[in-house]
Amino acid sequence: MMQYKDTICAIATAAGNGAIAVIRISGSDSYGIVDKIFFSKSGKKLNALKANTIYFGEIKSEGKVLDEVLVSLFRAPHSYTSEDSIEISCHGSVFIQQQILQLLVKLGARLATAGEFTMRAFLAGKMDLSQAEAVADLIASQTQAEHSLAIQQMKGGITTEIQRLRDLLLNFISLIELELDFSEEDVEFADRNALSDLIVRAEKYLKTLIDSFAQGNAIKKGIQVAIIGKPNVGKSTLLNALLNEERAIVSEIPGTTRDTLEDTMIIKGLTFRFIDTAGIRHTTDVIENLGIERTHQSIAKADIVILVSEPNAPGFELMMQISDILNLNKKLIVAFNKIDVQSSHLIDTVFENDYKTVYISAKNRKNIEDLQNALLDFSDYNNLNSKDIIISNLRHFDALQNALQAIERVREGLETHISSDFLAQDIRQALHYFGLITGQITTDEILGNIFSKFCIGK
């Protein structure tokens, strides 16, 4: 693909001043361009130096020293992009970073677009498309769970099995298409029983992956939690107790405190996102009339609902609320608040298996951990180190659903003994959607969509 061979450059490290910054250059002219501005101690030209080695020297612009830098040399195909490429490690002043970048551009390099280095790696066959997508997820990962998902995907988690299914299906389809060549002779080269076994296996695998999306998506986007309950029951205090608990977990390493999004809590590497908290925080009696409608909206958006109640609330009314929420198919935690000031009478336990109950004091931060554990229990957080593959990418989810439909048509076709050409058509459909995931089938539009979500420099 010659159109990708021009030389691109970008600042690869985070924006702003740091001790050092790294500028990445990739493409056929990398060495030629950098040679014009980099002067090694030995005076040797870059082409005379070995790949995978590091050299100290000066970047000069019009005879003036711009910086003292290290350059790391990579040679095609043994680089990230599979092209000749160079990384310049300079002093981390934004001014210097920009000056070097401008020099490179002046000498003929082009500023890389978002994700262009990784796109080149994909186009060169260094990774499949789902692995390339995982690179962006990896960089964006903020929690243990997101990170595990991304690593799993980057390591080929989803594509290994899809590739295997694809190869097996390809084998069948070549046999079936052979049958079509001999269609007047009514032969069957493709063993229908073996194909049927394969289809069952594919169907099962696809369903498992599709089912995993709810969990993967929750990990990636955060698990939506709605806190509901009557006025003055302590919703706002509970929210603060939950969030402050989190904020109190100060990392032991100085400088490691990350920016916490407001109203977001991370428990054991999982992100919980409290929704519509503005409403909770600013609730007054005046606007309480709007409450019912808004509560319904919150519940609809939530993965998990925390219903806050006083321990001595009327049992019947509470059971009605619980029933309503469970009817909406939501995971429910009933949090009896103010246990240290009100006597609790245990509630009717008709649905006891369908929701969790905790007894807390939000004000005095009592048993908040029970509530956190209940959230964790509800979050289906299987250990991501297990072999279970979890998908978190909407594009994969769509392709897998389409693949499953095609596979189901194949199964039905086998059951109803449809003709080989229809069978072949459905298998081709399934292969198409498999190919979309791995990137064996792709379009500029798909690639554009995927890589535009990357940061520049990767």
Residues in contact with a copy of itself by CB under 8 A are 10, 12-22, 24, 52-55, 64-68, 70, 72, 74, 87, 89, 91-96, 98-99, 101-102, 105, 111, 117, 135, 138-144, 146-148, 151, 154-155, 251, 253-256, 258, 385, 454-458
> b vs e for 127-153, b when ≥16 Cβ sit within 10 Å of the residue's Cβ?
bbbbbbbbbbbbeebbbbbbbbbbbbb
Give the shortest CB-95-to-a copy of itself separation in angstroms: 5
Q: Which of 87, 103, 113 is nearest to 4 (CA)?
A: 113
Nearer to a copy of itself, 66 or 195 (CB): 66
Closer residue to a copy of itself (CB): 105 or 249: 105
- The nearer residue to a copy of itself, 329 or 385, going by C-beta atoms, is 385
Provide, rounded to whole angstroms, the least separation between the CB of residue 112 and a copy of itself.
10
Nearest CA among 59, 22, 53, 23 for reference residue 40 = 59
Give the nearest distance from C-beta 194 to a copy of itself in angstroms: 36
Residue 137: CB minimum distance to a copy of itself, A = 9
Give the nearest distance from C-beta 245 to a copy of itself in angstroms.
20
* Rounded Cα distance, 240 and 358, in Å: 17
**Of 24 and 330, CB closest to a copy of itself:** 24
Residue closer to a copy of itself (CB basis): 159 or 236: 159
Which residue from 45, 59, 51 is spatially nearest to 83, judged by alpha carbons?
51
Work out the number of other CB atoms within 10 angstroms of the CB of residue 383: 7
* 413 vs 415: CA distance, rounded Å: 5
CB 72 → a copy of itself: shortest distance, Å?
A: 6
Q: What is the torsional sign of CA 325, 331, 335, 336?
A: positive
Nearer to a copy of itself, 378 or 454 (CB): 454
The HSE-up count of residue 256 (CA atoms within 13 Å, CB side) is 7
Evaluate whether 22 touches 85 at the Cβ level (below 8 Å). no
CB of 448 to a copy of itself, least distance (A): 17
For residues 31 and 46, the answer to whether their CB atoms sit within 8 Å is yes
Give min distance, CB of 109 to a copy of itself, in A.
Answer: 11
Q: How many CB atoms lie within 10 A of CB 216?
A: 25
Would you say 18 and 84 are in contact if contact means Cβ atoms under 8 Å apart? no
Tell me the β-bridge partners of 88: 23, 71
The encoded tokens of residue 199 equal 């289809």
DSSP-based three-state secondary structure for 39? strand
What distance in Å separates the CA atoms of residue 149 and residue 134, rounded to the nearest whole number? 8
Least Å distance, CB 30 to a copy of itself, is: 15
**Helix 116-123 to helix 444-451 angle, to the nearest 10 degrees?**
140
Query: Which is closer to a copy of itself, CB of 49 or CB of 319?
Result: 49
The residue among 159 and 237 lying less far from a copy of itself, judged by its C-beta, is 159
Residue 271 Cβ vs a copy of itself, minimum distance, rounded to whole Å: 11
**16 vs 314, beta carbon nearer a copy of itself:** 16
Cβ atoms of 37 and 60 within 8 Å: the answer is: yes
CB of 335 to a copy of itself, least distance (A): 30
Which C-beta is closer to a copy of itself: that of 11 or that of 199? 11
Q: Are 89 and 72 in contact (CB under 8 A)?
A: yes
Helix (H, G, I), strand (E, B) or coil at 284: coil
399: helix, strand or coil: helix
Give the DSSP letter of residue 105. H
Q: With respect to a copy of itself, which residue has the nearer C-beta, 260 or 419?
A: 260
